[in-house]
């Protein structure tokens, strides 16, 4: 029979082998099944799926697991935003948690305003450049402009403009990947609100700052004296804004002689506008 | 086991690792070689998974070839049946690991299912049959089977070696800031070619060394 019809025999052999394999696999998956909470898969569906790691876990699947198994907070998915948090809360039957909606912001205004200490021809990355003799920029606190944050951003929200990183706050999802990429820690998370911010982190004294950068904070204290809310103070030779007191009047933005204080977004708010609670930084 | 046998097995093992290295000399399994060699831990994970799967796949497919395909004159069905068997095996290994050794399962992670369709696993099973099924007539099935297993182990270790070596090369190359047009895949392929060239130098080396030692 075998020699009589080899085609039929071959088909039978293959079919039997395939069937045997599938039976073995079905049995194996039945008897060796590992129980997995179905909510993990459901939550995984809700998450943004960008695997950006902004939640602090290895990826979306890892975060979904952490929510179900370890009771991790449900609002950590920044790209997914409120919609995702609501969906997860529905699956988990949890109450709404407070959700800070923060966006990245670059605390440096240097770029082409900042001098050059030496010409750098090494590896074209901020991390590498910052490691060479304090970095090629005259200011050892400012943006290096090689775009480590641009590469870290999965949402194309960052770009280098005039030698300094700029965040497109419409595109930013608040995943915080860039804050970890910047070797100088210039990227901060700031709430979506109209408020002023000091675009300098130079801790040196005024004279040294003037030599390094045209738009560095020289700690002259004019903003401190002029702020009607007494919300500004000097710390390590840099002006800092206490956002619990700031009402967004914009006096500091106008008065700053070096034009270091800028609006994070928008313009001055009316003096009566309440400050959002999560604006405390 | 006689000295002659030890020499045979040692020759097979080391020639599979160095002279006939599956990735760098025979150009099988290039996809994971280029895809997973960016980081050391992932290339080691992939290498380990390949060793395990190659061994088990050879242990299963070699008897199938001898007792099913050759016995019933179905040699032309080799490729499709081997693919079927390997796919089932990898799934089975994955299910078993997930149940009994979850630590190893999460360590191998995504690399285990990736191997299902890997050409170097299929390659080692087919080449082991080609090279060692002839020995059944002269040395018996047990000996030929052992030869095939040693060959699979050597191929797996060779794959791991190639992955780890190339991972080191690649990290150096990526930090060396190549010209714009060479960045990414072009420079990776060029450096893979040079790594492969260095392995060509092992040709004919192993047999003579082992003959000299024993």
| Residue A160, φ and ψ in degrees, nearest 5 | -100, 120
Res B165: pLDDT: 92
Long-range contacts formed by A23-31: CB under 8 A, 24+ apart: A24/B88, A24/B92, A25/B88, A25/B91, A25/B92, A25/B95, A28/B91, A28/B92, A28/B95, A28/B96, A29/B95
Q: What percent of chain A has pLDDT over 70?
A: 90
So what's the ipTM on this one? 0.72
Q: Is B84–A17 a contact, with Cβ atoms under 8 angstroms apart? A: yes
Q: Give domain limits for chain A.
A: 38-92, 102-279
Distances (CA, A) of A70 to A40, A44, A48, A80, B82: 12, 15, 20, 20, 43
pLDDT-derived band at A271, boundaries 50, 70, 90? very low
Q: List the one residue out of A119, A75, A127 whose CA is nearest residue A96.
A: A75
Contact partners, residue B147, CB within 8 Å, separation at least 6: B8, B9, B12, B128, B131, B132, B135
Average pLDDT, integer, range B141-168: 92
Residues of A in contact with B88 (CB under 8 A): 21-22, 24-25
SS3 B55: helix
d(CA A84, CA A99): 11
Task: Give the position of tokens 């907070």.
Answer: A73
- Count of alpha carbons within 13 angstroms of residue B86, beta-carbon side: 29
A88 and A46 in contact (C-beta within 8 Å)? yes
Instruction: Judge whether A38-92 and A102-279 match in fold.
Output: no
Q: What is the pLDDT of residues A68-102, one digit of tens each?
A: 888 788 878 888 877 888 888 888 876 655 555 78
Q: Is A2–B72 a contact, with Cβ atoms under 8 angstroms apart? A: yes
Q: List the one residue out of A272, A139, A279, A115 whose CA is nearest residue A202.
A: A139
User: How far B81 CA lies from chain A's nearest CA (Å)?
Assistant: 7
pLDDT-derived band at A274, boundaries 50, 70, 90? very low
Res A272: pLDDT: 47
Q: What is the pLDDT of residues B95-134, one digit of tens each?
A: 888 888 777 777 666 677 777 778 888 999 999 888 888 8
- Write the DSSP symbol of residue B68: I
Given 1.20.210.10, 1.10.15.40, 3.30.1330.30, 1.20.58.220, which CATH number is that of A38-92? 1.10.15.40
SS3 A213: strand
Task: Give the position of tokens 């304090």.
Answer: A134
d(CA A157, CA A167): 6
Q: What is the pLDDT of residues B172-206, one digit of tens each?
A: 888 887 888 888 889 999 999 998 988 888 877 77
d(CA A170, CA A10): 62
> Among partner residues B87, B99, B175, which is closest to A123 by beta-carbon distance?
B175
Q: Tokens in use for B210?
A: 């082992």
Q: What is the pLDDT of residues A181-207, one digit of tens each?
A: 899 989 988 887 778 899 999 988 888
CATH topology of domain A102-279: Alpha-Beta Plaits (3.30.70)
Q: Is B177–A124 a contact, with Cβ atoms under 8 angstroms apart? A: yes
Task: Give the position of tokens 């092992």.
Answer: B202
**pLDDT at position B150 over 90:** yes
Nearest CA in chain A to B106: A62
Query: Taking the complete model, does pTM exceed 0.90, yes or no?
Result: no
Nearest CA in chain B to A128: B175
The vertex-A212 CA angle with A148 and A218, nearest 5°, equals 105
Residues of B in contact with A132 (CB under 8 A): none
Q: Tokens in use for B206?
A: 């192993």
Q: List the one residue out of B160, B192, B156, B150 whose CA is nearest residue B173.
A: B192
Strand partners, A105: A188
Strand partners, A167: A158
* Interface residue of B60, B88, B103, B110 to substitute, partner A, most A CBs within 10 Å: B88
Distances (CA, A) of A184 to A55, A128, A134, A239: 22, 12, 11, 18
A184 and A271 in contact (C-beta within 8 Å)? no
- Write the DSSP symbol of residue A275: P
């Amino acid at each position: 029979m075998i020699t009589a019809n080899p085609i039929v025999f071959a088909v039978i052999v293959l079919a039997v082998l395939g069937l045997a394999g599938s039976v073995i696999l079905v049995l194996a998956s039945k008897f060796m099944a590992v129980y997995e909470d179905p909510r993990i898969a459901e939550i995984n569906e809700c998450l943004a799926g960008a695997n950006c790691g902004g939640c602090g876990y290895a990826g979306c699947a890892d975060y979904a697991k952490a929510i179900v198994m370890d009771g991790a907070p449900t609002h950590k998915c920044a790209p997914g935003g409120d919609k995702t948090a609501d969906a997860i809360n529905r699956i988990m039957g949890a109450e709404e948690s407070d959700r800070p909606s923060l966006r990245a912001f670059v605390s440096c205004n240097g770029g082409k305003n900042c001098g050059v200490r030496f010409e750098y021809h090494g590896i074209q990355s901020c991390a590498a450049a910052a490691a060479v003799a304090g970095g090629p920029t005259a200011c050892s606190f400012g943006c290096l402009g090689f775009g480590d944050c641009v590469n870290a951003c999965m949402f194309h929200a960052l770009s280098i403009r005039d030698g300094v990183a700029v965040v497109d706050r419409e595109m930013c999802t608040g995943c915080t990947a860039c804050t970890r990429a910047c070797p100088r820690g210039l990227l901060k998370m700031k709430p979506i609100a109209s408020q002023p911010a000091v675009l300098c982190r130079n801790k040196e004294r005024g004279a040294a700052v003037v030599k390094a950068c045209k738009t560095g904070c020289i700690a002259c204290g004019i903003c401190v004296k002029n702020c009607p809310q007494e919300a500004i103070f000097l710390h390590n030779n840099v002006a800092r804004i206490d956002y619990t007191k700031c009402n967004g009047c914009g006096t500091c933005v106008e008065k700053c002689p070096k034009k270091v204080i800028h609006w994070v977004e928008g313009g001055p708010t009316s003096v009566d506008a309440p400050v959002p609670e999560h604006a405390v930084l | 086991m006689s000295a002659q046998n030890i020499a045979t097995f040692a020759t097979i093992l080391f020639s599979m690792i160095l002279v006939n290295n599956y990735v760098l000399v025979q150009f099988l399994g290039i996809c994971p070689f280029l895809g997973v060699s960016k980081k050391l831990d992932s290339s080691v994970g992939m290498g380990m998974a390949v060793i395990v799967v190659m061994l088990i796949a050879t242990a299963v497919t070699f008897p199938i070839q001898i007792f099913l395909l050759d016995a019933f004159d179905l040699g032309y069905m080799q490729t499709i049946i081997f693919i079927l068997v390997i796919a089932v095996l990898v799934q089975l290994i994955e299910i078993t690991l997930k149940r009994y050794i979850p630590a190893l399962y999460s360590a191998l992670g995504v690399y285990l299912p990736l191997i299902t369709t890997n050409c170097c696993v299929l390659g080692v099973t087919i080449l082991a049959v080609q090279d060692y099924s002839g020995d059944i007539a002269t040395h018996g099935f047990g000996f030929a089977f052992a030869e095939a297993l040693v060959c699979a182990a050597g191929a797996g270790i060779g794959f791991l070696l190639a992955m780890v070596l190339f991972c080191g090369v690649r990290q150096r190359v990526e930090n060396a800031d190549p010209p714009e047009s060479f960045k990414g895949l072009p420079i990776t392929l060029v450096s893979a070619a040079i790594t492969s060239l260095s392995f060509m130098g092992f040709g004919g080396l192993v047999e003579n060394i082992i003959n000299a030692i024993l």
